[in-house]
Structure 1
Amino acid sequence: MVERWDRVGRAAAYGAAAALVPYLVIKVSWVVGSLLGLLPVGRGFSLGGWLVLNTVTIGMASAGIMLGLALVRPWGMRMPGWLVGFVAWVGSGFLVSILPFVVVSALVNSATGTSGGSGGDAAMPGWEAALLQCSFVGTGIALAIALPAYLRRRWPHALRRPQQPRTRTSSGPLWPAVTGGVTGLAWLYWAAGGSLGIAHFDERTVSWHVLVGVSACWALAASGAVLAIDHRRRITRLPYLLLLALAWLGSGSMFAWSGWRLPATVYVALTHPSDVSYPENVAIAVALHVTAVLTGAGMTQSLVRGDRRRLNGADSAEESAQRVDRHP
């Protein structure tokens, strides 16, 4: 069974890398086409800003392809663990927000008969948008299978529940769970139609509501999971692996998406483009994004430290058992 799961994970890793190739090709064509004057610049961007944005996404797609290959190729086992973990964490954070956003937006738009544009270039052909979405969906599903298989091979202890429950009330700082919950509730309030902190009511599109709502759900899920893992007092009966996955993915979603939207929000606030404006009050949006980035990083740091403590504790217990065997 384990060998079959490993074979499936390896195939999924190749699939994750292949799924991002169409996205990479499209982004490269946008950059080359814009430079040659063959393709229009995205709405709300100057030529320089458009090139910078797409160059960054080309780098992200390239990193995603390398991540997929690292999860299956032998050299991936020799890469620094922190590098593989960071790229996987950020990539997973993007994808777990994109996948529900694509599905929910499609259902809502089909029910309301709206196009649901998200502020991108209106001249993008339908087949191109569909291909981009297929790249995200395919990569997300493939990584969800490939990453656990890689973790099982390289860090099997990371997927194990601690053998002994901790007697201390807390093993990590409480602030990430608190700030994550506050940020999630603020986003949920906006997604539900709340007007406090909204500067441009007409800019609240269906896609905006969906994306903010998805971000809110992941922030709240991560906060609850971290609270249950690091401050457990039998507050939940959920499986340990599920809590670990919610904390990992939710913290990555907060860090990745707010880290992505923060510079875009600051850019719009400083340049005041005539055809682009965000619904939120800029100061409040920036504060929430900064809080989300710090919270996501704090959650992950707490999880990593807890994992190191468990590993060190297991090693100490094994050494003690060996000493007892040698000196009965």
Structure 2
Amino acid sequence: MNTQLLRSSTAIATVLACLPYLSLKVAWILGIPIGIPEASALRDPSSQGLALGANVLTLLMDVILVALILLLTRPFGRRVGATPLLFVSWGAVGLLAPIALGFAAQQAARLLPGPGSDPPAPEFLDPWVPLMVYGGFTLQGLGLSTLFVLYAVDRWGGLLGKPLTTASAPPHRTPLRLVAVLASVSALITLSLQVMWSTGSTIGLTESMAAGQGVDQLLVHAIHAAFTISAMVGVLLLAFGTIRLPTWVPLVLAWVGSGAMAGWGAWSILSGLLLPSGAEPATPLMNLATTAQLLAGMMIAVAGMHWLAERWAISGPPTPRSSRSAADQMSPAK
């Protein structure tokens, strides 16, 4: 398929995947309780202010996603600096990737014989709402990932395709290694707890979480553990790696993994601050896991940007593929 056709069709499909969620959020903000059962806690008058704030925030997050899609696909996106695009894409992919994998794993678990899902819980939302929302998030994650890959290859393909060991060692390798080690130590804290909870342990969980620790929640813990491992492997390869891998391999591992860690760590902290009065607060171990997750994700992202900056300083900024092709056509040797 033509690259431009793939980019355009993926952008349209991704924006369309945002519309059901955006429509639902607009309805809730306007006070239309579509998809919310009569007995749901979301209809509690005492929590309406908090619910409105959460709905406005998540609506704005999806609007930002639509704007990001335009920046990644339209010519004016090239006039935007790399740093803000990388940061927003990093956060968006980091939030969406665990949802996409978790939703797919949970639906697959339901198809398996035996207890493939959690026991029924009191109705919070109509059954079709989570399917629509998480199905939409999955499509958004796949679409955004595809668009960012196309954008990155077009803009930085000359660097991403080089072997990891091609350039000489950056002059500030020691600070990079120190940050990578500190980040990995922090990541190991949250990883150990994620693995423990993914195997069925309820140590350190709230009473309500421990009571609802079924297949769905075990899969969520396992998937977050996988992203933590991805981030650790990626940053350690960048800092210490002598394996002749393409540069994009450790960068993708570190970028997606750290985005998931920092994004969900920040979201968990924000959610804890916005808990309604009387709600069950997180335990000290849960707070430890969340804090370590956020810190490690941020440090790994900083280490990755540091590695890229030094690699560019050694070999020069990568030439965009489109510019390289034009130069090749004008070369007398051609």
1:31 paired residue number: 29
Equivalent-residue separation in structure 1 for 2:273 and 2:57 (angstroms) = 17
| Residue 272 to residue 194, structure 1, CA distance change in 2 (3 Å) | same
| Residue 195 to residue 238, structure 1, CA distance change in 2 (3 Å) | farther
1:227 paired residue number: 236
Query: What secondary structure is seen at the aligned counterpart in 1 of 2:30?
Result: helix
Coordinate RMSD, CA, aligned: 3.0
Equivalent-residue separation in structure 2 for 1:39 and 1:33 (angstroms) = 14
1:34 positional shift: 5.2
Q: Deviations over 1:163-216 (max 9, x none)?
A: 225388746122112211331122111111224323423132333222121111
1:92 positional shift: 0.3
Equivalent-residue separation in structure 2 for 1:210 and 1:183 (angstroms) = 16
Q: For residue 166 of structure 1, what is the amino acid of its counterpart?
A: A
1:122 positional shift: 2.4
Equivalent-residue separation in structure 2 for 1:124 and 1:223 (angstroms) = 36
Instruction: Determine what percentage of the aligned residue pairs are the same residue.
Output: 21
Q: Which moved more, 1:289-298 or 1:54-63?
A: 289-298
User: What are structure 1's unaligned runs of at least 5 residues?
Assistant: 317-328
Which of residues 12, 20, 23 in structure 2 aligns to 1:22?
Answer: 20
| Residue 67 to residue 189, structure 1, CA distance change in 2 (3 Å) | same
Equivalent-residue separation in structure 1 for 2:170 and 2:37 (angstroms) = 62
1:39 positional shift: 7.4
Q: For residue 58 of structure 1, what is the amino acid of its counterpart?
A: L
Equivalent-residue separation in structure 1 for 2:96 and 2:119 (angstroms) = 19
After TM superposition, the score normalised by the length of structure 2 is 0.80
| Residue 313 to residue 118, structure 1, CA distance change in 2 (3 Å) | farther
After TM superposition, the score normalised by the length of structure 1 is 0.82
Q: Kindly tell me the number of residue pairs found equivalent between the two proteins.
A: 305
1:130 positional shift: 2.3
Query: What secondary structure is seen at the aligned counterpart in 1 of 2:31?
Result: helix
| Residue 34 to residue 206, structure 1, CA distance change in 2 (3 Å) | farther
Q: CA contact under 8 A between 1:218 and 1:253: conserved in structure 2?
A: yes
Equivalent-residue separation in structure 2 for 1:56 and 1:95 (angstroms) = 16
Matched, 1:178 2:181: no
2:51 paired residue number: 50
Q: CA contact under 8 A between 1:90 and 1:256: conserved in structure 2?
A: yes
Q: CA contact under 8 A between 2:117 and 2:214: conserved in structure 1?
A: no
Matched, 1:218 2:227: yes
Q: Deviations over 1:280-319 (max 9, x none)?
A: x522212221221121111111111111111111139xxx
1:271 positional shift: 2.6
